[in-house]
Amino acid sequence: MKRPVTLFTGQWADLPLETLAEKVGQWGFDGLELACWGDHFDVHRALTEPAYIQSRRDILNRHNLACYAISNHLVGQAVCDLIDTRHQEILPTHIWGDSDPEGVRQRAANEMMDTARSAAAFGVEQVNGFTGSSIWHLLYSFPPNNFADIERGYEDFARRWNPIIDVFEREGVRFGLEVHPTEIAYDFVTTRKALDAIDNRPGFGMNLDPSHFIHQFLDPASFIEEFSARIYHVHIKDSKRRLDGRRSILGSHLNFGEALRGWDFVSPGHGDVDFESLFRALNRIGYKGPLSIEWEDSGVDREWGAQDALAFIRRIDFTPSSAAFDAAFRTQ
Amino acid sequence: MKRPVTLFTGQWADLPLETLAEKVGQWGFDGLELACWGDHFDVHRALTEPAYIQSRRDILNRHNLACYAISNHLVGQAVCDLIDTRHQEILPTHIWGDSDPEGVRQRAANEMMDTARSAAAFGVEQVNGFTGSSIWHLLYSFPPNNFADIERGYEDFARRWNPIIDVFEREGVRFGLEVHPTEIAYDFVTTRKALDAIDNRPGFGMNLDPSHFIHQFLDPASFIEEFSARIYHVHIKDSKRRLDGRRSILGSHLNFGEALRGWDFVSPGHGDVDFESLFRALNRIGYKGPLSIEWEDSGVDREWGAQDALAFIRRIDFTPSSAAFDAAFRTQ
Amino acid sequence: MKRPVTLFTGQWADLPLETLAEKVGQWGFDGLELACWGDHFDVHRALTEPAYIQSRRDILNRHNLACYAISNHLVGQAVCDLIDTRHQEILPTHIWGDSDPEGVRQRAANEMMDTARSAAAFGVEQVNGFTGSSIWHLLYSFPPNNFADIERGYEDFARRWNPIIDVFEREGVRFGLEVHPTEIAYDFVTTRKALDAIDNRPGFGMNLDPSHFIHQFLDPASFIEEFSARIYHVHIKDSKRRLDGRRSILGSHLNFGEALRGWDFVSPGHGDVDFESLFRALNRIGYKGPLSIEWEDSGVDREWGAQDALAFIRRIDFTPSSAAFDAAFRTQ
Amino acid sequence: MKRPVTLFTGQWADLPLETLAEKVGQWGFDGLELACWGDHFDVHRALTEPAYIQSRRDILNRHNLACYAISNHLVGQAVCDLIDTRHQEILPTHIWGDSDPEGVRQRAANEMMDTARSAAAFGVEQVNGFTGSSIWHLLYSFPPNNFADIERGYEDFARRWNPIIDVFEREGVRFGLEVHPTEIAYDFVTTRKALDAIDNRPGFGMNLDPSHFIHQFLDPASFIEEFSARIYHVHIKDSKRRLDGRRSILGSHLNFGEALRGWDFVSPGHGDVDFESLFRALNRIGYKGPLSIEWEDSGVDREWGAQDALAFIRRIDFTPSSAAFDAAFRTQ
Amino acid sequence: MKRPVTLFTGQWADLPLETLAEKVGQWGFDGLELACWGDHFDVHRALTEPAYIQSRRDILNRHNLACYAISNHLVGQAVCDLIDTRHQEILPTHIWGDSDPEGVRQRAANEMMDTARSAAAFGVEQVNGFTGSSIWHLLYSFPPNNFADIERGYEDFARRWNPIIDVFEREGVRFGLEVHPTEIAYDFVTTRKALDAIDNRPGFGMNLDPSHFIHQFLDPASFIEEFSARIYHVHIKDSKRRLDGRRSILGSHLNFGEALRGWDFVSPGHGDVDFESLFRALNRIGYKGPLSIEWEDSGVDREWGAQDALAFIRRIDFTPSSAAFDAAFRTQ
Amino acid sequence: MKRPVTLFTGQWADLPLETLAEKVGQWGFDGLELACWGDHFDVHRALTEPAYIQSRRDILNRHNLACYAISNHLVGQAVCDLIDTRHQEILPTHIWGDSDPEGVRQRAANEMMDTARSAAAFGVEQVNGFTGSSIWHLLYSFPPNNFADIERGYEDFARRWNPIIDVFEREGVRFGLEVHPTEIAYDFVTTRKALDAIDNRPGFGMNLDPSHFIHQFLDPASFIEEFSARIYHVHIKDSKRRLDGRRSILGSHLNFGEALRGWDFVSPGHGDVDFESLFRALNRIGYKGPLSIEWEDSGVDREWGAQDALAFIRRIDFTPSSAAFDAAFRTQ
């Protein structure tokens, strides 16, 4: 049994879904993870226009593509975040509204509930995304943090997301947080604390994306083993450290792709993610879901890259064994 | 010629200067770098009470201690920062005032000017400290930064600090920014940009503290070589990476000293700073100023640690050579 | 000239030879290294049933498969071992007999002589296998070893194997010990001592299997260079160290494939064997024999794995050069 | 508060205790960990001769030496071991007796109970030692282990040691197993299983000796953190890996000190143990017991070495901090 | 846009161009970089025989091969070198002449001018080659160098090469020095000094060959970034360090291919060159010229190797991106 | 038994012996290795002036200094070298003479014979030095070497040095070549070949100086083990690699001490020499001669450095063990 390989459409939202699906189908992917932006998957039309969902299905079917998950990172980000002008750039107008931070956060929360409902309507049981965080800006504790404030950040997360997850669980859909800087959980410690804050309820798990672990020096395979019951979806994305004593691992306030950054996202297989160990860990926990390529590499043409990534995954995603070691040595 | 070894008093502000100076003198230090908090060095009394400065001198003299620099990190931090409740904890009441952010920033800027004046009055030509930063919270670009905002952060720094440096230059005192996360400059790239923003004027240089380089994977010796003309003061402080695939280099929103952090400050010689290379670089640029131990190690008793640090520096701060290599081989 | 690639059938003994040969032929292998267990190669039938050998040849020929070596690891293991219940599981009934240890050892020795004879009858000049060891259990010297006992272990090996090798040399067949933990030779030092014990006679050489070197931190290419005259056969098998400070290189008494082991066997090219260096060393010593894939990887499906391994070897087993470097620069 | 530094007398049993204590006292040690062999501490005389215990105390007092623990490794080893001739070399005659393995094991078990009683009589609450193991010889699973046999090994350990620990707990003495190859627990996995087998009862903990972790590539500081409640005593001993691609980490059946071994014990501070991390971990768990130097280094004179080790520990065993980080920054 | 892949013919000069071109065309290369030795490209015939150039073009065209550069390493080497008997082996008779060193150097210089003229006549704008060096033998400063002599070596280079580059610039052809031991520039420092010596004039740049950087521990990607304006041509060649504590990085006066050397040239992708970083650096500077495989590997058959190298480059030479990162996230 | 620590006077030849001896005696050294230049040890006066030798002894005795070896590196260098102007700088006038290369070489050879004679007269049995080499300039084989020329270099060495060693052996003095770039032997391979060339005669051995191994990536301890019978004298000197991808290990034709070199000599204990392993290897071969500090570090004041080096050696030169491991565990 081979796991399906899908493409996450978030970085291709400038293309109409029809155009993208045609390319992706020809490249040989098994499916798409639809982003809830661009024209790829519109949460509201899915809930209100009877024909909309079928139109999406038709496009996918025409190109032999399945859909195992939809993703709404941008709206999810606004649920817990301290809102600033950057959110206006990535949020739909009806959520940004009058720009009042608390209003933005509440509208974003409602939209995430609708995202669960629209996924259910679409027949998809997985929604991936971000949570935002009210305490991210306290990352480096200077001026010295009052660490009770940090605890309040996890409580804020629980207060805002528990009602959202109520809807998810009611709809039979699971949320997969992409553990990532700027989210409530971005590493082992913060994932433990975030899960604790919501009593580790089953409606909330992870969309594992190993690329965000590399610049933190974290091991994705160990993460899979520790949080095995909450690995709900997997992104295939890579990252490379480029440290030479002059480039900071913190990124120097430089944009992705700048030569002087200490690390950058790269096409899968071109970076420091140990996919061999990652796939062995996924095999051990029995993960059977899609491997969804989230393609970002500012140094490579994306069409070349998406195909290169697919070929890479096809070559190394091995089938797990079913037999015991040395069983063939036994004489009986 | 051996460089003097001083102790930065910032982490000892709970002790009266008299008590501290007695200990430090007995331990064998050459001097103190006085913090402008606790009762160590009061900027206002230095400017307004004729006897105050002499009272500081008397304490130092009684214990055979020199003073090459005073430091005002906490107030400097507020000059560019977005102000939050954490600043209230570290700022004097007269600067915090009514807590209006812009008011706090302006009062802090004025205080830094007074710090220069008080240093001059005290006969000290070096003030160390922080600058704060209006863009630190944009460190990880998600939601994606508008990078013009980053440029505006450097402009804001220049706008706020140029008038301060005017006073420094007028007073014949130099400011030494401790390159450090949360400041306008925390690595090579941001130091270049910060210096560019103020036209690399001589009143503004660096208090090199290698401990802030380790978790960023930066090489302090290379920094000394690149910015040789602006290395005005040196802190001796160490840091250790404790990465095991489960601990994040970003710190996990955990306080210093917590077992699960990916790095921590440690007593000099107990961490990853390559002091051998650092001292060779200082020798190459001809740095003759103090080596000022800023002692922070949450796992070690500070009195044991300060003495251990002094012994460490005494053992490895070697005198540079004055003769050419192999000169003794020549027959004439 | 490319070296033939064969599959060692030991881990496939649950399949009838006919079934296996069909698969292996379709996958594109050049031949099989037949195990003397399962129904793959029966030493006694080969010596007593006139049609048996032809029946094996017929199967191989039907699928375009050659045979360069047969292997009898399980019986060989019993020749020097201290016999315990584990041997009963892997030995044929006629060798286990009444379970008296010395009887088992002698019957195993005789069977190895017959293995040489049957190989000769089959037209194959190479038999691979194990020797066992009477001193393996003394590996960690506590309670402290009497090291004269260790010497006696090598003498015991020579006493038991010299008569076996007499038969091998008479039959024109060579024995290839797979250097491996639990054998009389498992590393450089013990190989030197084992070869010395039998005066380095030509009938006894090595089946080099690099996978057993990895968890010992040994370099297979150096082994090839030191024992170049005794490299009689080569297994292609890989192994990966998975050390993280909590997993022991000694294996923790855990079965292969367990997540907490410090190392494990993996499909060729997925582990720590440096095949590039290994092939260059084989080229340098002029090894022209088969590359025999011994496939073991508890995390991968074996049919996927065998084909993946074959493709891997085809891609990297390069032809050695025949021309001198820079010869084309000469003007004459 | 500095932890006392003691010397374990096991490697000095050729010297009378009086002679040794005089040397050790002069070298400046704080105490001795007495071995129950040589004439250092005789379990039977301690239980039967009223003046014996006072005679030991007198010797110690004369040289200003304390005693925090006694050790009976050699007898403990025989409790679970498969007995062979090597045990005869290290066991007292009354335990070896007629050499019948089960008899030896039972007499050894009784002796360990008496060791607890004699420690109590001596006023010492800690006994260190070994347990032996009935499954050590199954370390490398070839012929393939029946892993149910491995489980039976842990059960055998529990069956034999529970009655011994009953006595320990009754006497108010704790047993400290030195986690070590050839014992029931030698790494993280086997320690977990051994503790589980006896329901993690408090009478049984560990004498942490980091030297046995190095050749297994295990991290002693992580061990201290995982088993913090069971770290009852600490040996200071070091080990060095000497891998060069030709030397096996398994030891090649060579005696300690041989040049071709892949690792060897060395004087503390001369090897690969990270004592800095180890001491920080001990500080974190609040370990206040002795640091007991077990000195073994076949390349160094032991008297030079013991003093070098003491100086090393005195230099690096730092006092933990009692204050919070950055506390001195607060304005109130 | 993919860069063309060519084969440098220098190591194939024993084959007539017709024979070589047929092979190379069949293997799928895009072109040839013709060596000015063997019968591949004769500088004099190109300048004097009207039909010669067309004959070379015809051969190339017949096999669909382009030519972007010609190379004259062997003659270039003689321009600055101290001449010894080794030069006789690699120089045409008319340049060696009477063997008087200064005469050889001047005839070589003239020949390099003619090489520029013949390239122009051939319609090729790039000539690669060597410069030689009068100071190479002073590499290790013992007996201690007079470093003024080193400066004179750069002046000698400028004096001899400026007139040659005059011709190049007149002809519209660029010279590409292959930075390489024994040349005036072989690393970063010497490249800076060599370029300074000729005022960094545009007619003189580099043929970047990363294989010569590996044994010097230099990073080719950093070189590309520092000298971006002078990267005129790229050789694809690889090298591997084989250090084991007994093999010297200096080469031991052993010929390439000897087992005991500390490093050796290997087929591209089989060594230590980081081609991923190299191609990203070439993308960043906008290099659009050929990737010319200079194939040398004394352990591999050259025909197998050339095809393996071509396949390697085709697989990893990725197209650069034209879009900004995260652009698809924007809502407008 | 501690080995004596001496100072090699070569880098102090600008000081009169009397001045130097006074300093060195006060610093606590055990002796001097006298250089045959400056006024430290004059070969001719030792052979011709009856009182000269006594005058040297008197100076040494006055400061409690022994002498175990004299050294004549500079003259030895000229015996095989191709002579250039650099030799004039380091040779006495009577050897440079009319500058005819062959004359210089022969006069240098005679002087080395006299050095043996003067050592014998002085009662010293060890002379250290260089041999020079006629083939050093062929180090990098381009233009490609005729490797028969390399062989002729070893023959030239044997032809010139055999008569010198005849004198050494006659006088009961041994020559110790400092294996070093520019000498006939500078690594393992060339040492083997040089010793072969003179039939490994006992009069010719090595002055081991580990600093010359570091930039070649050679292991001094392995060298000691391979050439154990020819380790006649030991220099304590250190070297540090400073590779960062931009600095070449070849030295860039930069003088020692320049910031951009890829490696440099440093004070013992400040570099990459593993003195722990080196001393263990010396212990294993039973070396009992002096440890002679040859102090060179262009970044450190030499008087500070010599004392620092002495303290370093005193701290780590441990006495070897005389007892067997675990001997104290035996019950009999």
Q: If you measure CA to CA, which chain E residue comes closest to B145? A: E326
**pLDDT tens readout for residues D278-323:** 999 999 999 999 999 999 999 999 999 999 999 999 998 888 776 5
**pLDDT tens readout for residues F146-156:** 999 999 999 99
Q: How many residues does chain F have?
A: 332
pLDDT at E332 over 50: no
CB A310 within 8 A of CB A8: no
pLDDT of residue F319: 80
**pLDDT tens readout for residues A129-181:** 999 999 999 999 999 999 999 999 999 999 999 999 999 999 999 999 999 99
Give the amino acid at A76.
G
Chain C residues 166-205 with CB within 8 Å of chain D: 180-182, 186-190
pLDDT at F332 over 50: no
Touching partners of A (3+ C-beta pairs < 8 Å) = B, C, D, E, F
CB B275 within 8 A of CB B3: no
Please tell me whether residue B80 adopts helix, strand or coil conformation.
helix
CA–CA separation, B233 vs B235, rounded Å?
A: 7
Buried-state track F116-153, b at ≥16 Cβ within 10 A, e below 16: bbbbbebebbbbbbbbbbbbbbbbbbbbbbeeeebeeb
Give the amino acid at B246.
R
Chain C nearest-CA distance from E131, in A, is 17
pLDDT of residue E327: 60
Buried-state track E214-235, b at ≥16 Cβ within 10 A, e below 16: bbbbbbbbbbbeebeebbbbbb
Q: What beta strand segments (E) does E161-317 contain?
A: 174-177, 204-208, 231-236, 238-241, 263-266, 291-293
Sign of the alpha-carbon dihedral angle for F304, F305, F310, F316: positive
Tokens of A247: 């480039």
pLDDT of residue D332: 47
Confidence of residue A329 (pLDDT cuts 50, 70, 90): low
CB F292 within 8 A of CB F231: no
Closest CA to E213 of F243, A246, F252, F245: F245
What are the φ and ψ backbone dihedral angles of F249, each rounded to 5 degrees? Answer: -65, -15
Using a CB–CB cutoff of 8 Å, tell me whether F143 touches chain A: no
Please tell me whether residue A233 adopts helix, strand or coil conformation.
strand
- Percent helix, percent strand, percent coil in chain E, to nearest 5: 45, 15, 40
Using a CB–CB cutoff of 8 Å, tell me whether B140 touches chain E: no
Mean pLDDT of F132-140: 98
- Which residue ranges in chain B fall short of pLDDT 50? 332
Q: What beta strand segments (E) does chain B contain?
A: 5-8, 31-35, 70-71, 126-129, 174-177, 204-208, 231-236, 238-241, 263-266, 291-293
Q: How would you classify residue A203: left for phi > 0, otherwise alpha for psi between -120 and 50, otherwise beta?
A: alpha
CA–CA separation, C183 vs C187, rounded Å?
A: 10
Contacts of B304 in chain D (CB under 8 A): 318-319
- Which residue ranges in chain C fall short of pLDDT 50? 332
**pLDDT tens readout for residues F64-81:** 999 999 999 999 999 999
Whole-Å CA distances, D274 to B267, C234, C262: 16, 40, 20
**pLDDT tens readout for residues D252-278:** 999 999 999 999 999 999 999 999 999
Q: Which of A12, A300, A312, A315 best tests the E interface by mutation, with the highest count of E CBs <10 A?
A: A300
CA–CA separation, E46 vs E54, rounded Å?
A: 9
CA–CA separation, F122 vs F117, rounded Å?
A: 9
Touching partners of F (3+ C-beta pairs < 8 Å) = A, B, C, D, E
pLDDT of residue E38: 85
Tokens of C192: 């030197």
Please tell me whether residue F22 adopts helix, strand or coil conformation.
helix
Using a CB–CB cutoff of 8 Å, tell me whether A144 touches chain D: yes
Closest CA to A308 of A269, A271, A277, A272: A269
Please tell me whether residue F319 adopts helix, strand or coil conformation.
coil
Using a CB–CB cutoff of 8 Å, tell me whether E87 touches chain F: yes
Q: If you measure CA to CA, which chain C residue comes closest to E305? A: C318
Tokens of F156: 């030239």
CA–CA separation, F258 vs F263, rounded Å?
A: 10
DSSP state of C138: G
Element (H, E) at D3: none
Whole-Å CA distances, A244 to A262, B217, C315: 8, 8, 33
Mean pLDDT of F131-143: 97
pLDDT of residue A99: 95
CA F302 to chain CA centroid, nearest Å = 19
Please tell me whether residue D327 adopts helix, strand or coil conformation.
helix
Mean pLDDT of F186-206: 98
Give the amino acid at A313.
I
Tokens of F279: 């001393």
DSSP state of A3: P
DSSP state of C257: T
Comparing CB atoms, the residue among D143, D144, D326 nearest residue A144 is D326
Contacts of residue C78, Cβ cutoff 8 Å, sequence gap at least 6: C87, C91, C95, C104, C105, C108, C132
Cβ neighbour number for residue D54 with a 10 Å cutoff: 12
CA–CA separation, A80 vs A133, rounded Å?
A: 5
Residue A235 sits at the vertex; the CA angle it makes with A229 and A236, to the nearest 5 degrees, is 125
**pLDDT tens readout for residues D37-63:** 989 999 999 999 989 999 999 999 999
CB B161 within 8 A of CB B150: no
CB A131 within 8 A of CB A76: yes
**CA torsion angle for F269, F275, F279, F284 (degrees, to 10)?**
180
CB–CB contact B262 A216 (8 Å): yes
Contacts of C325 in chain E (CB under 8 A): 255-257, 265, 296, 298
CB F291 within 8 A of CB F257: no
Residue E81: HSE in the Cβ half-sphere, 13 Å Cα cutoff: 29
pLDDT of residue D217: 98
CB B218 within 8 A of CB B245: no
Using a CB–CB cutoff of 8 Å, tell me whether E75 touches chain C: no
Q: Which residues pair with B176 in a beta bridge?
A: B128, B205
Give the amino acid at A118.
S
pLDDT of residue F330: 61
CB–CB contact F304 B319 (8 Å): yes
Using a CB–CB cutoff of 8 Å, tell me whether E140 touches chain B: no
Give the amino acid at B51.
A
If you search the block for the tokens 């160098």, which residue do you land on? Answer: E145
Using a CB–CB cutoff of 8 Å, tell me whether A329 touches chain D: yes
Using a CB–CB cutoff of 8 Å, tell me whether C244 touches chain B: yes
CA–CA separation, F130 vs A226, rounded Å?
A: 62
**pLDDT tens readout for residues A71-108:** 999 999 999 999 999 999 999 999 999 999 999 999 99
DSSP assignment string, F186-223:
-SHHHHHHHHHHTTT-TTEEEEE-THHHHTTTB-HHHH
pLDDT of residue B321: 72
CB E276 within 8 A of CB E224: no
CB A215 within 8 A of CB A187: no
Q: If you measure CA to CA, which chain D residue comes closest to E243? A: D244
**pLDDT tens readout for residues A19-35:** 999 999 999 999 999 99
If you search the block for the tokens 């010796």, which residue do you land on? Answer: B221
**pLDDT tens readout for residues F230-253:** 999 999 999 999 999 999 999 999
Mean pLDDT of A216-238: 98
Tokens of E111: 């020949």
CB D3 within 8 A of CB D288: yes
Is A41 exposed, middle or buried, given 0-12, 13-18 or 19+ CB atoms closer than 10 A? Answer: buried
Q: Which residues pair with D165 in a beta bridge?
A: none
Is F196 exposed, middle or buried, given 0-12, 13-18 or 19+ CB atoms closer than 10 A? Answer: exposed
pTM of the model: 0.95
Contacts of C305 in chain A (CB under 8 A): 318
Chain A nearest-CA distance from B147, in A, is 7
Q: Which of D326, D330, D331, D332 best tests the A interface by mutation, with the highest count of A CBs <10 A?
A: D326
Comparing CB atoms, the residue among E74, E86, E141 nearest residue F146 is E86
Comparing CB atoms, the residue among F187, F226, F253 nearest residue E190 is F253
Tokens of E311: 């396949």
Q: Kindly report the average pLDDT of chain E as a whole number.
A: 95
**pLDDT tens readout for residues D102-152:** 999 999 999 999 999 999 999 999 999 999 999 999 999 999 999 999 999
CA–CA separation, A293 vs A265, rounded Å?
A: 13
Contacts of F329 in chain C (CB under 8 A): 143-144
